[in-house]
Structure 1
Amino acid sequence: MSMNRRQFSQAVAALAATSATPLLWAAQAIKIGYVSPQTGPLAPFGEADKWVIDQMKAAFKDGIVVGGTRHAVEIVLKDSQSNPNRAGEVANDLILKEKVALMLTAGTPETANPVSDACELNEVPCVSSVVPWQPWFFGRNGDPRQGFDWTYHLFWGLEDVIAAYTNGWKGLQTNKKVGGLFPNDGDGNAWGDKKLGFPKPQADMGLSLTDPGRFQSGTQDFSAQIAAFKRDNVEIVTGVVIPPDAKTFLTQARQQGFKPKAVTLGKALLFPSALEALGDLGLGLSTEVWWSPSHPFTSSLTRQSAQALADSYEAGTRKQWTQPIGFAHALFEVAANALARSKSLKAEDVRNAVASTSIDSIVGPVKWGGPGPMKNVSRTPLVLGQWRKGHQRKVELVIVNNGAATNIPAGGAMQLL
């Protein structure tokens, strides 16, 4: 069951109830900055953010007690416009003009990386998500021996998405020939990287990869890629592209007589709106699932299950649930937990509280400095999903392989297109 507003507020008020004596409200509100793509080609990544922020305003109505003083909480949302330069600009506005105590950001390297860089430079604590950890860490020239001082990240990595995809393909009858669509952007360059990305582990598994090279996002012609895939008798297509590019590629593939047995793409196939735009081209396509209503996790902040959070979103927006809901919510779980533990609102104290976070969140356990790949990275679980014709909706995302995270239930087996 979903929580009502009163129950929701009571759950969060527990954060503030750290003293038996009444606490005075501080004149200064805590400002939390949030940067995500609200417009532009990456806007589906930020579609749920305003709803989540409205939920958080209710959650924080009684403020948060920091160092013995109760503060009101103000959340300031800024639009990256799907543009890295703009993301950096609005991050600097939040840091220098709004004087945020903590920055949150999500939605591909084009938003999260420049925001994280601005925070690292200005010594402001930042928590980011919705970028595989390698393009976030190495894309910012991170040194594995030192890590970062002010920026912390929660999401899965390329090792997880490679495992999820290949686990799904193992159950299909194919010739093991894979075609890669890797654009010239933060994700594409990481996924196609010969050492960090798909090529080496695929070769180790006996899969051959045809990579026709980098292309610009927004391209109108995939004839060269399709010709290369047909020449090499490719039966599986993978990659990481924006939704408009997926539609262009799939439409032109059909027109040019290229019929793969499986199409598993990151980024483009995450959202119900993108699948509806594809029409019958979308049925049977597969993608990674980072969060869903069937994930067996509960919010540390509102005590909602993943199912209850998705139901609440659908009831409040009349839209189908979408994966970024869980991670936007989880970022605020970290913020609330860290601020409530911080000794003061000084940047170093807030940063130290973030770094020592250890919670069970709506997206799974979040903990830095532990068994993760880097001290600044907390990995979250990943499974594989396939889009099917829905019972209640036009399309539904069914988890078809949970080999890498067996605690997340599967709803069926992967099928050939």
Structure 2
Amino acid sequence: MSEPSRNGVTRREFLKIAGVAGAAVGATGGLGGLLAACGEEKPTSTTAGTVSTTATTSGPTTSVSAGPEAGEQIKLGFVTPLTGPLASFGVPDKYCVDRWKEYIGDGIVGGDGKKHPVSIEVQDSQSDVSRAAQVAGDLINNAKVDLLMVASTPDTVTPVVEQAEAAGVPIVSTDCPWQTYLGQNKEYKWSYHVFFGGEDWITELWACYEQLSTNKKVGAMFDNTADGLFFSAEVPKFMQARGYTVVDPGRFQPGTEDFTKEISTFKKEGVELITGNMIPPDFTNFWKGAAQQGLQVKGCMIGKALLFPDSVDALGPIANGLLKELWWHRTFPFKSSLTGETCAQLADDFEARTGLQQTAPLLHYVVGEMAIYAIKNATDPKNKESLLAAIEKMKVDTIVGTIDFTAPLVTPTGSGPVDYPAGPGHKTKNVYDHGLGGAQWLMQGGKWTFDEVPVDNTAAPYMDKASLQPIKPLPIATS
């Protein structure tokens, strides 16, 4: 007969009860803890997050799945222009952060096998270079972030990358042409970047203009920013080598309201094409002034300003037919590495949640993919060198296509900064170029005032060529 316990339950009866209730026992105490309380010692073994407890008596065996061991919190920082003249770039960023947080949930299992809670702190650069550097410093020194993310033009990306490099903090970035991202640096230690380069943008400009019948005279509108200075040096060389004449009245300061001088020069020289680099408010002033002063051109492709639906919406019918670079679009054949969503599904979800039209900077979603990849693949996600090692070996299919920092470097075609083959590839140690297409804003009577219609894939071979529409010359009459 079994020995009765002091509360009238035999050990055998207790084991029967425990066998039924074992699944409800917490992993920290476990069945072994209950048995030990009854005076019977239990050997335990733990493997890969599962606590297995086996009784030495003839009673039942109970396994309790505890899940991964809890790891330390990992802190991510994200710098973006939510206010100021670059705020259009930051429009989708709240959505991106929300989607990252939804995926993260209560934590991510890192390369160390532990489940780490992950927080994301967002800082607004206010579209100011000094402010971008300041908030990056705050994230590094006060918030003690483990990894930084940044997006949106050299005015945001460059100062944040420089802070991360100086402090020895891993950083992933996008939305800054890769030559201006590198600046005078041949390479970085802590920073890795995904975006197109000058060779892609200039190639798309030329390819789009080749579709139009013109006198090949191009008016240049490049501002006095890092992007403007870079492209004002490279575009004329590229276009002149292909039979175009570039009329350049010189740099102008962002925030300029009156472009009468430039418009008068273009009219005098008979330009039929316009290119340049402008922030949205500046282009609005320029294009309205051009219409009022009778400047007639057949094509216009401007970097930055024409990326956004709200920019062309603000111009109304005179924006019909403007050209733009196409960094990212709902028709691209890629999927999220986090959720498996296609580009079309991500664009639809953004529009459903925000009530806003899909915008190119939804591409910023990729820095979250990169950061999460680093956590999952770092052998110690709380160690910055370990995070860096994971980024250096990154090979992952994302919402912007494949990112492969292990791929061989693309061979340059010359010694100049844009002397690279246009299109995707591992351009430098720290840069993976995702390529670039061309599109035209057209009023087609659909849900949105303007549709972003793909028109060229010269630097984006992954775009479906059969779906491209021929470019329509300006001006385009509206009904």
Equivalent residue for 2:308? 271
- Aligned pair partner of 1:93 in 135, 138, 144: 138
Q: Which residue of 2 aligns with 1:182?
A: 222
- Residue 222 in structure 1 maps to residue 259 in structure 2: yes
How far did residue 19 of structure 1 move? 4.6
CA contact (8 A) 1:369 1:375 kept: no
Task: Give 1:142's aligned residue.
Answer: 185
Distance 2:292 2:361 in 1: 33
* Residue in 2 that maps onto 1:3: none
1:308 paired with 2:345, answer yes
> By how many angstroms is 1:165 displaced?
1.2
The match for 2:440 among 366, 371, 386 is 386
**TM-score between the two structures when normalised by the length of structure 2:** 0.80
1:4-153 correspondence runs (5 A): 19=48, 21=50, 22-26=67-71, 28-66=72-110, 67-138=112-183, 141-143=184-186, 147-153=187-193
Whether 2:456 is the aligned partner of 1:398: answer no
CA contact (8 A) 2:272 2:298 kept: yes
- Partner of 1:386, secondary structure, is strand
Deviations along 1:204-239, one digit per CA (max 9) or x if unpaired, are 111111111110011011111112211221100001
How far has the Cα of 1:369 moved from its partner?
A: 5.1
Find 1:411's aligned residue among 468, 472, 477.
Answer: 468
Q: CA deviation at 1:378?
A: 0.4
What is the distance in 2 between the residues matched to 1:404 and 1:186?
23
Aligned to 1:165: 205
Q: CA deviation at 1:407?
A: 2.2
Query: The residue matched to 1:78 in structure 2 has which SS?
Result: strand
RMSD over aligned Cα atoms: 1.3
Relative to structure 1, the CA distance from residue 248 to residue 19 in structure 2 (aligned partners, 3 Å threshold; closer, same or farther) is farther
Using the TM superposition, name which of 99-108 and 363-372 deviates more. 363-372
Alignment partners' CA distance in 1, 2:315 and 2:292: 14
* Higher relative contact order structure (alpha carbons within 8 Å, sequence separation ≥ 6): 1
Tell me if the contact between 1:369 and 1:376 (Cα under 8 Å) persists in the aligned partners.
no
| 2:209 maps to amino acid | W
For 1:6-57, what per-residue CA distance to the aligned partner results, in whole angstroms no more than 9, with x for missing partners?
Answer: xxxxxxxxxxxx956322223x311110000000010010111111111111
Displacement of 1:87: 0.2
| Partner Cα distance (2:191, 2:266) in 1 | 40
Letter in 2 for 1:275: V
- Paired position in structure 2 for 1:330: 366
> SS at 2:307's partner residue?
coil
Q: Which runs of 5+ in 1 are unaligned?
A: 1-17
Whether 1:346 and 2:383 are equivalent positions in the alignment is: yes
In 1: Cα distance, 2:190 partner to 2:406 partner: 13
User: Which residue in the other structure is 1:212 paired with?
Assistant: 249
- Counterpart of 1:297 in structure 2 is 334
Task: Give the aligned partner of residue 14 of structure 1.
Answer: none
1:84, distance to aligned residue in structure 2 (A): 0.4
Percent of aligned pairs sharing the same letter = 39
Greater shift in the superposed pair: 60-69 or 347-356: 60-69
Mapped to 1, the partners of 2:364 and 2:455 lie a distance apart of 24
Bigger-Rg structure (1/2): 2
Unaligned stretches of 5+ residues in structure 2: 1-46, 51-66, 410-425, 475-479
**What is the TM-score normalised by the length of structure 1?**
0.91
> Is residue 2:271 matched to residue 1:234?
yes
Shift, 1:411, TM fit? 3.5
Give the conservation status (yes or no) of the 8 Å contact 2:69–2:113. Answer: no
Q: 1:364, 1:381 within 8 Å by CA — same for their partners in 2?
A: no
Q: Deviation at 1:402?
A: 1.2
